[in-house]
Structures are given as structure tokens and as C-alpha cells.
Amino acid sequence: MHPFMRCAGLHGYVELAESVGLEPAQLLARVGLSTADLAVPDRWVPAVDVARLLELSAAESGREDFGLHLAQLRRLSTVGPLSVVLREEPDLRSALRLLIRYEHSYNQAIRVTMTEKGGLATMTIWLELGEPAPIRQGIELAVAALLGLVRRLRDPQWQPRAVCFTHPAPRDVTAHRRLLGAALQFDHAFTGLVFSSRELDSANMLADPDDPALRTYTRRMLRSLPPPPTPELVERVRELVQILLPLGHCTMPQVARALGVTKRTLHRHLDEQQQSFAAIVSDTRAGLAERYLSAEHYTISEVADLLGFDAASSFSRWFRRRFGVSPTAWRAITSHPSPLMAAAAAGEDAVGQPSGGRR
């Protein structure tokens, strides 16, 4: 199933496109969207169509910083009803945890994790579109939007220790440095933000400490949102699968042992939630494969090792069955937008199907 996102994520697109000499209605039509879609913030559209729109807009305008500038037009309300809850969280840590836990409520394609180690907090971001499409503009939009949200909660002048991207630097980094700060790192091992763990305990600048009843109200509102689609047990299994895959020890008995239960008990609990261990492993591999293939410093053999395959050929066969293309073809499409742009101009997507037909 293809992931969708709220049209609110494209707030300001029409105005930005026009300001750089584009015809937004024409570009939207080329990827299967319309200005009528954008007029309804709560409308959900295929995330891959949005990714293609951003790349097409950057290519047509010659602006490699298109995604960054779109992020500057974001409002807190872009994340929908969750924005009301975020305003009243007491500190940055609780607000970011909620943002991650309820990411499905505003964008089904985005993946954000937060880890703490050695006094540093690392927020890693990637996109899982389910099919090959260039993501540079989409990922820069996501990082800049996250940075903007932290600044709203923390301090408008806040700067992280590092802003990292797995892709190479643009020809001109002037706008990137002006909008993201000087601590930019390209060709990095991951995409995301790095900052001091202590800052997670900083007070939320938007919260009203004189009216604690507001948080009680927003917590009730939070319960009205769709719950996270992944049950807690399944999420824990996925986290363990991610850890064990590159070690070559990703088996159900090993995961059950780490959870402190027997293999039979784990199988029963997963069955109760209509899940299977094999499906969780396959889905986890699929998401990680998209993430690793978007970072060109990983060879195909290295990606195969990270996903627990005994050989690159085994990985390639699994990948083709899962996605319909080879890992090499996927990387070529996602890293070099020109073939995709030609397909978009012809009204077809990367696998020869009419674009925008999955709603």
C-alpha cells in the first residue's frame, strides 16, 4: 500500500512556485495532483506524487533549494490537530516524542527516530515511498521543517550541533547555510539533526505554564487522534529486527529471547494481532532498503549485509520480488531525477503506470 500525506504539507507551494517563474497548476497536473487538492489541507494524496512534484519544481526552476524555501512557509498547523497538543507539552523531549509517535497522522511516508548517546541527541529522518522516486527535495523539506518546528518550541535562533544529509552538497550552498546554519554536513552517514541531549529537557516556549488545565484538554484531544497503526509489541519486534539484521542473527527464537518470552508465546501474541514474524522482517527490510539505497556511499553488497542477506544476489532477488525493480535501477531513479522527470512529463510514473491514479 502506498503511503499518503496531508495536503497541508504543501502549504505555500503555489505562491513559491509562482515566485520562481513556474506554472504551479501545470506542474501539479503532471504528477497527478491539482490546485483543488491543495485547497483542502486535510486531503490526503500519495506521498510519492508530492516527492515528484518537488523534484520537478526544483528542476524546472533551476532552484536546488526549492524544498528548503517551501519549509520556511510551514506553519505549526501543518501537522493537523497534533499541533494543538504539541503547543502544551511541557518540554522539547515530550513534544518530539509525540511528533514521532503520531507521524502517521500527518505523513505516512516519513520516518523519524530519536536516540541519545554520549550526551548527544540524534534525530534521523528518511522517507519510505514504496516505489522509486527522487527524494532530495522531499528530504530537505522534511529536515528544514523539523528544524523550524524545534525552533518554534525552543528558540527562533536555535542551532543544532549538526544538520546532516546523506546526499552530496548542491552546487551553491548559500541558501542551505543561511536557512539551516553553518553546521552542515553532506555525504553523511545519515540524514537528520544532532544536538545536546540536555536541550531535550528545555521548556516548551509555546506552552502556558500558568494554565496547566490546557494540557489536560490537549491530552483528551490526543486520544481523539487515530492511534499509532503499529501495536507496541510489533514495534518492539521491529526494533529488535533492525538491530539483529546486520549481525546475521535475526531469527524468531533470538527475538523472543530478547523479549524474555518463548518462541511459541511470541508467535501466539503476533498471531493475535494478525501479524507474522516473517512479514515484520520483510517490511523492516523494505524500509531499511529504501533508506540505505538513498545513501550512495553504501554499495549494493553493503546494503545486502546490513539487511542480513548472505549475498548481494540474494538481496537483489528479494528486492526485485518486493519492488519490481533491481536495487541498481532503484538507486538510479532516486538519485538522478532526469529519467523520472521525463516520465512525469509524459504522464507516466517510473514503472510505466499513469501517475496520480492511486487515490
Q: Average pLDDT, whole number, for the chain?
A: 89
> 285-322: b or e for each residue (b if 16 or more CB lie within 10 Å)?
bbbbbbbbbbbeebebeebbbbbbbeebeebbebbeee
> 355 in a domain, yes or no?
no
Q: Is 151 helix (H, G, I), strand (E, B) or coil?
A: helix
CATH at 104: 3.90.1520
Q: State which of 172, 202, 223 marks the end of a domain.
A: 223
Is the model more confident about 333 or about 353?
A: 333
DSSP state of 79: G
Q: Is residue 352, in this structure, part of any structural domain at all?
A: no
10 and 85 part of one domain: yes
Asked if the structure places residue 358 within a domain, the reply is: no
Asked whether residue 210 is domain-assigned, the answer is yes
In angstroms, the CA 326 to CA 321 distance is 9
235 or 54: whose pLDDT is higher?
A: 54
Domain boundary among 223, 253, 284: 223
**Are 44 and 169 in a shared domain?**
yes
| CA–CA–CA angle 234, 271, 276 (5° rounding) | 60
Q: Among 23-32, 72-81, 193-202, whose mean pLDDT is lowest?
A: 72-81
DSSP per position, 154-214: S-TT---SEEE-SSPPPS--HHHHHHH-S-EE-S-SS-EEEEEGGGGGSBPTTS-TT-THH
- Sequence-distant (6+) residues with CB within 8 A of 94 are 204
Cα–Cα distance for residue pair 17/209, rounded to 1 Å: 40
pLDDT tens across 200-238, in order? 999 999 888 777 777 777 877 787 787 777 778 898 999
**CA-closest candidate to residue 48, choices 110, 111, 105:** 110
Q: Which of 181, 198, 223 is the last residue of a domain?
A: 223
Same domain, 149 and 282: no
Q: Which residues constitute the domain of residue 256?
A: 232-345
The CA distance from 290 to 5, in Å, is: 18
pLDDT exceeds 90 at position 187: yes
Whether residues 206 and 281 share a domain: the answer is no
Is residue 356 one of the residues assigned to a domain?
Answer: no
Are 38 and 151 found together in one domain? yes
72 shares a domain with 102? yes
- Looking up residue 277, the CATH number of its domain turns out to be 1.10.10.60
pLDDT at position 339 over 80: no
Question: Could you tell me if residue 261 is inside a domain?
Answer: yes
Same domain, 211 and 311: no
**Do residues 258 and 218 both lie within one domain?**
no
The whole-number pLDDT of residue 359 equals 41
> How far from the centroid of its chain's Cα atoms is residue 99's Cα?
12
Looking at the structure, tell me whether residues 77 and 107 fall in a common domain. Answer: yes
Mean pLDDT of 264-286: 94
Q: Are residues 240 and 217 in the same domain?
A: no
Q: Is residue 19 part of a domain?
A: yes
pLDDT at res. 350: 39
Does residue 359 fall inside a structural domain?
Answer: no
> Is the same domain home to 219 and 237?
no
Same structural domain for residues 153 and 9?
yes
| Tally of domains within the chain | 2
Q: Which residues in 108-166 belong to E strands, given as ranges? A: 110-117, 120-127, 162-164
Mean pLDDT of 147-157: 95
Q: What is the pLDDT of residues 96-120, one digit of tens each?
A: 999 999 999 999 999 999 999 999 9
pLDDT band at 10 (very low <50, low <70, confident <90, very high): very high
pLDDT at 336: 61
Q: C-alpha angle with apex 8: 162 to 70, nearest 5 degrees?
A: 45
Reference 68, options 208, 180, 229, 154; nearest CA is 180
